[in-house]
Amino acid sequence: MSLQQPAVFCNMVDDWPALYWNAKYLSALLDGKMIQFRLGLKAVDLVPQFETRCSYVKATLEEFLAWSCGQPSCLSGPFSCYEYSKYWAYADYKYIATTFEEKPEIFQDIRWSDFGFPGRSGKESTLWIGSEGANTPCHLDSYGCNLVLQVQGRKRWHLFPPGDTSFLYPTRIPYEESSIFSKVNIANPDLKRFPEFRNTTAYVVTLSPGQVLLVPRHWWHYVESIDPITVSINSWIELDADHEARVEEAITRMLVCAIKSAENPSDGDLWLNPTEVEATSHEINLQYLNKAVSAYFKCQKASESEQACPSCTGAEQRTSTSCKRKKREAGSEPEGCTLLTHEFGFPISKAEKLQKIPFGPHLIQVLPQSQETSSMGAVAVESDSRDLLHENEGGHFGKLHHTRKQSVMSNDSATPAHQMDSDGSPNASQTALSTNDLLDCLVNPQVISLVARLLLERTRV
């Protein structure tokens, strides 16, 4: 838990039955069960393919495999309107506990206990099945850290540290609890509109079958499938910091729902992500906020009690199902999940911690890449590799110490002369602000973090 940047674990899952979970095996296991696929265009433009811009179909894995192979039977199936050469398909965020609820014995095919999380299995994991080009827009997860096992095919991960948040132009539209999206299309960035993206530091790695990637807390990531069929399994690991994050998410939900719900629904602004069931009422959001605050202080008291009782062991601590996208699970309550109640604290400096981490052939540090390298591809990490990823000199672009984003009213630091009125003020037609512009400021992660701390301090008093 002391890892502060991404790393790839090799040769850790060689005996996991889950390594046989390729798409054909899963198709037989699901036995004709319908699952939902998200479809997007392979053509890349300047705007991220958010889930609100995608199409959706329900199909079997068998139909998906036939479509990805170009079989004639697809001419009349659920994928008939989507030409494989132009579209990708992604069955993402499939909770294994619900997808395979009739076959609970397969949960044990996944053993996160090998990574130091006793009892954690497929029941607390999520399945992802995609075709070439399938991708997840650049975002960070508000809760936990992430362990990802690659089973079939390869995926390329573009990761950015938490310190790059302002350079990635964060937004909560489309809104989804626990996901903060970037306005930048990482595959084709619009540098005129988002000039500070040049200041980011990309950590790029191609994950191959049998490898496990650790995505630390609050690291941004854009993920793309680069082989015809990809299958991966992940699990979000709960952290004590999630309690404060849940307060921040409750504040964000209240503001976004209140402001966006007040707009004219005929405007056609798809602000709610398809994965969110509905826009919750102010009363429900207030209940959610109070429960999040209550859980935060309960965790604080538990932590203080454990510090007073050092004999408590890690085996006695409680873990639970990941809170990522928990709203989609049947019967989920607003307060969601119980979390680890102990703190991952280390009395040594960061430099000392890094020196003690055994990087080598089995634990490979993901290093920064130059912008040129990250845009063209990444070095793959082979399971039997004895060489560490080489560090690219110049991979770090000098960061500007800005505390706020570039003005949303103009692509440049100054308003051009032809956009000025006679009195020297910006032309009104060029500076009309939208609700989303306001929300980008109101629910900016830095602002929400400050509001949450002020609210918790007031509640504490």
Mean pLDDT, rounded, for 408-413: 34
Q: How confident is the model at residue 355 (pLDDT cuts 50, 70, 90)?
A: low
Q: What is the CATH number of the domain that holds 231?
A: 2.60.120.650
What is the reported pLDDT for 353?
Answer: 55
Together in a domain, 85 and 177? yes
Q: Does 246 reside within a domain?
A: yes
Q: Does 377 reside within a domain?
A: no
Q: Does 310 reside within a domain?
A: yes
Together in a domain, 48 and 176? yes
Return d(Cα 357, Cα 2) in angstroms, integer: 8
Burial grade of 60 (CB within 10 A; 0-12, 13-18, 19 or more): middle
What is the reported pLDDT for 375?
Answer: 43
pLDDT at 386 over 60: no
Q: Which domain holds residue 325?
A: 242-348+431-460
pLDDT at 54 over 90: yes
What is the reported pLDDT for 142?
Answer: 97
Together in a domain, 83 and 188? yes
- Max mean pLDDT among 59-63, 319-323, 345-349 falls in 59-63
Together in a domain, 26 and 68? yes
Q: Does 217 reside within a domain?
A: yes
Together in a domain, 183 and 205? yes
Mind listing the pLDDT tens digit for each residue in 132-143?
999 999 999 999
Burial grade of 52 (CB within 10 A; 0-12, 13-18, 19 or more): middle
Mind listing the pLDDT tens digit for each residue in 201-219?
999 999 999 999 999 999 9
Mean pLDDT, rounded, for 257-276: 85
Q: Using an 8 Å Cβ cutoff, are 115 and 215 in contact?
A: no
What's the chain's average pLDDT?
82
Q: How many domains does the chain have?
A: 2
Mean pLDDT, rounded, for 149-177: 97
Mean pLDDT, rounded, for 41-54: 95
Distances (CA, A) of 344 to 206, 238, 295, 314, 338: 29, 11, 18, 11, 16
Mean pLDDT, rounded, for 25-34: 96
Instruction: Decide which of 387 and 367 is more confident.
Output: 367
What SS3 class is residue 73?
helix
What is the reported pLDDT for 273?
Answer: 94
Together in a domain, 166 and 222? yes
pLDDT at 313 over 60: no
Together in a domain, 191 and 266? no
Q: How far apart are the first and last CA of the chain?
A: 32
Q: How confident is the model at residue 414 (pLDDT cuts 50, 70, 90)?
A: very low
Instruction: Decide which of 326 and 143 is more confident.
Output: 143
Together in a domain, 166 and 286? no
Which residue, 220, 237, 254, sits at the end of a domain? 237
> What residues contact residue 194 under an 8 Å CB cut-off, 6+ apart?
169, 183, 184, 406
Q: Does 387 reside within a domain?
A: no
Together in a domain, 129 and 86? yes
Which residue, 237, 257, 276, sits at the end of a domain? 237
Instruction: Decide which of 413 and 278 is more confident.
Output: 278
Mind listing the pLDDT tens digit for each residue in 102-138?
999 999 999 999 999 999 999 999 999 999 999 999 9
Q: What are 201's two structure tokens?
A: 């530091």
pLDDT at 456 over 60: yes
> What residues contact residue 300 under an 8 Å CB cut-off, 6+ apart?
243
What is the reported pLDDT for 235?
Answer: 98
Q: What's the whole-model pTM score?
A: 0.82
Together in a domain, 24 and 152? yes
Q: Using an 8 Å Cβ cutoff, are 7 and 102 in contact?
A: no
Q: Does 220 reside within a domain?
A: yes
pLDDT at 461 over 70: no
Mean pLDDT, rounded, for 399-405: 30
What is the reported pLDDT for 459?
Answer: 86
What is the reported pLDDT for 305?
Answer: 80
DSSP secondary structure letter of residue 331: T
What is the percentage of the chain residues whose pLDDT exceeds 70? 75
Mean pLDDT, rounded, for 40-57: 95
pLDDT at 237 over 80: yes
Q: Using an 8 Å Cβ cutoff, are 162 and 221 in contact?
A: no
Instruction: Decide which of 392 and 190 is more confident.
Output: 190
* Closest by CA position to 64, among listed 110, 155, 150, 132: 132
What is the reported pLDDT for 348?
Answer: 44
What is the reported pLDDT for 186?
Answer: 97
Which residue, 203, 237, 271, sits at the end of a domain? 237
Mean pLDDT, rounded, for 160-171: 98
What is the reported pLDDT for 369?
Answer: 84
Q: Does 258 reside within a domain?
A: yes
Judged by average pLDDT, the poorest of 55-69, 75-89, 247-261, 333-347 is 333-347
Q: Give CA 402 to chain center in angstroms.
A: 24
Together in a domain, 232 and 246? no
Together in a domain, 316 and 181? no
pLDDT at 6 over 60: yes
Q: Does 354 reside within a domain?
A: no
What is the reported pLDDT for 270?
Answer: 86
